[in-house]
């Protein structure tokens, strides 16, 4: 006759740790309310008994899922890996799980979000996609049952949501200024996808740096892109067909910059010998391509940690202000081998008045 092993219960944990079941429950759901010594005893009891909390049952009792939803525009984009890791770590430290939804934008995005919330599967949303319909978001976050929401990386214009992002425009200005300070006067830009908030912000920073230096952002040097390597390769094809080429390129992200450098090599051109290239993001790959990529390093781990912590604060009622939180983190210029002074064969242009006056 086979014996069915009894599933360990919270009562088993309480008996082993010599505490009440209420204390066990409190230690598992709100560990900060239990002493460190008691938490250690309960943790050991959970390990020995093999007890696993029934999250579904607990969610029904507490009317909370203790889970946050992360909505991404493209889970395959390596930019999000460090952010997701930081979100998961922060959520776990606060007693929450993480659910990831990919390619969340589209006509049914509001319906999908409402379904997650109303079915008690998640308690709040970290939204990484600024293209989600604003009207649907407003309906979801309004009274009488507002859905806690933090917009991360991409700010949605004219939207009253908490936001955690980096200063994309100023960082793009820094990247362009780096090229100008190296002596480049002919500078082009690989844009991001049309309609993307980040595309506009980074292009605005590029144009501001060019204008401040008295340099022209020539239309034929504004190359189309899509935040991926293939678009960088296509940009290189446009570049080699130009009658007059820029000596430097600021790319709106690392992937398009890396694709561009690869495309240059296919046409017998060298980086930085023929053209210097600056990217944006500082993906792990950026330091290991050849040449290593000069780029703007976004504080991705901090973005994930701060955004997850802020969302959980909203869920738990620790943020009472009706004024939206707008947290802007700074990026850092990382100089590597893809940028250098302009090639000697290019006739030097006159020093821009804005630089000469410094």
pLDDT at 171: 98
Q: β-strand 97-102 against 248-251: which pairing, if any?
A: unpaired
Please report, in tens digits, the pLDDT of each residue of the chain (358 residues total).
Answer: 444 456 778 888 889 999 988 888 777 766 667 788 888 888 888 888 877 665 444 444 445 678 999 989 888 888 999 999 999 999 999 889 999 988 665 556 666 666 666 666 788 899 998 777 667 777 666 665 577 889 999 888 778 889 999 999 999 999 999 999 999 999 999 999 998 899 999 999 999 999 999 999 999 999 999 999 999 999 999 999 999 999 999 999 999 999 999 999 999 999 999 999 999 999 999 999 999 999 999 999 999 999 999 999 988 886 655 667 899 999 999 999 999 999 864 444 445 555 545 4
Cα separation, 338 vs 197, whole angstroms = 27
Q: Which of 96, 94, 123 is nearest to 32 (CA)?
A: 94
Q: Check residue 35 and give its pLDDT.
A: 86
| Distance between CA atoms of residues 14 and 351, nearest Å | 77
**Best CA proximity match to 14, nearest among 6, 23, 5:** 23
Q: In this predicted structure, what is the pLDDT of residue 235?
A: 98
Residue 219 DSSP code: G
The pLDDT of residue 140: 66
The candidate with the shortest Cα–Cα distance to 295, out of 258, 247, 240, is 258
CA 261 to chain centre: 24
Q: Which residues pair with 163 in a beta bridge?
A: 151, 326
CA distance 312 to 307: 9
Predicted local confidence at residue 142, as pLDDT: 61
Reduce the DSSP state of residue 281 to 3 states and report it. Answer: strand
Residue pair 21/53 in contact (Cβ under 8 Å)? The answer is no
- In this prediction the pTM is 0.76
Q: Tokens 């979801």, residue? A: 140
Rounded (5°) CA angle 225-227-230: 70
The CA–CA distances, whole Å, from 270 to 22, 91, 264, 338 equal 68, 45, 7, 10
Longest CA–CA separation in the chain, Å? 94
Where do the structural domains in the chain lie, given as residue ranges?
Answer: 1-37, 65-166+300-329, 168-298+334-356
- Cα separations in angstroms, 184 against 30, 133, 199, 272, 277: 57, 41, 23, 12, 11
CA-wise closest residue to 166 among 193, 190, 137, 202: 202
The H or E element that residue 105 is part of is: none
Q: How far, in Å, CA of 308 to CA of 95, rounded?
A: 12
Q: Which residues of 75-88 are buried (b: 16+ CB within 10 A; e: fewer)?
A: eebebbebbbebbb
**pLDDT recorded at residue 12:** 86
d(CA 121, CA 68): 9
Instruction: Give the tokens for residue 311.
Output: 């969302």
> What residue has token string 């190296």?
182
Whole-angstrom distance, CA of residue 176 vs CA of residue 246: 13
d(CA 124, CA 146): 10
Question: Tokens 């781990």 belong to which residue?
Answer: 301
What pLDDT, on the 0 to 100 scale, is given for residue 60?
A: 41
What the block records as the tokens of 149 is 């929401």
Q: How far is CA 353 from CA 214, 249, 250, 346, 356, in A?
A: 6, 22, 22, 20, 5
Question: CATH code for 65-166+300-329?
Answer: 3.40.50.2300
> What are the b/e assignments for 113-129, b being 16+ CB within 10 Å?
beebbeeeebbbbbbbb
pLDDT of residue 143: 61
- Shared fold status for 65-166+300-329 and 168-298+334-356: yes
What is the fold, at CATH topology level, of the domain defined by 168-298+334-356? Answer: Rossmann fold (3.40.50)
Q: Look at the block and give the residue holding tokens 């020539």.
A: 218
């Amino acid at each position: 006759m086979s014996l069915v092993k009894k599933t360990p219960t919270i009562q088993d944990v309480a008996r082993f740790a010599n505490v009440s079941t209420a204390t066990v429950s409190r230690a598992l759901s709100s560990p900060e309310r239990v002493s460190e010594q008691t938490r250690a005893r309960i943790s050991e009891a959970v390990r020995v008994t093999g007890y696993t909390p029934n999250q579904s049952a607990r969610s029904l009792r507490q009317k909370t899922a203790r889970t946050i939803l992360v909505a991404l525009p493209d889970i395959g984009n390596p930019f999000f890996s460090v952010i997701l890791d930081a979100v998961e770590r922060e959520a776990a430290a606060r007693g929450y799980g993480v659910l990831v939804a990919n390619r969340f934008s589209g006509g049914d995005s509001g319906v999908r979000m409402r379904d997650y919330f109303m079915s008690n599967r998640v308690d709040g949303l970290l939204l990484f996609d600024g293209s989600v319909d604003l009207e649907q978001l407003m309906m979801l976050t309004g009274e009488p049952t507002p859905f806690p929401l933090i917009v991360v990386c991409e700010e949605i214009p004219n939207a009253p949501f908490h936001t955690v992002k980096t200063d994309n425009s100023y960082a793009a200005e820094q990247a362009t200024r780096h090229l100008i300070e190296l002596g480049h006067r002919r500078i082009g830009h690989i844009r991001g996808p049309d309609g993307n908030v980040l595309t506009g912000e980074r292009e605005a920073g590029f144009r501001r740096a060019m204008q401040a230096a008295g340099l022209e952002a020539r239309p034929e040097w504004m190359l189309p892109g899509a935040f991926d390597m293939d678009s960088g390769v296509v940009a290189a094809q446009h570049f080699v067909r130009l009658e007059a080429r820029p000596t430097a390129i600021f790319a709106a992200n690392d992937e398009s910059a890396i694709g561009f450098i690869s495309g240059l090599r296919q046409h017998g051109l060298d980086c930085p010998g023929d053209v210097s290239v600056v990217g944006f993001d500082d993906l792990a790959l950026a330091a290991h391509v050849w040449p290593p990529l000069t780029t703007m390093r976004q504080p991705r781990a901090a973005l994930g940690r701060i955004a997850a912590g802020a969302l959980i604060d909203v869920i738990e009622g620790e943020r009472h202000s009706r004024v939206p939180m707008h947290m802007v983190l700074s990026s850092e210029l990382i100089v590597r081998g893809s940028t250098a002074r302009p090639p000697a064969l290019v006739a030097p242009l006159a020093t821009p008045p804005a630089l000469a006056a410094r």
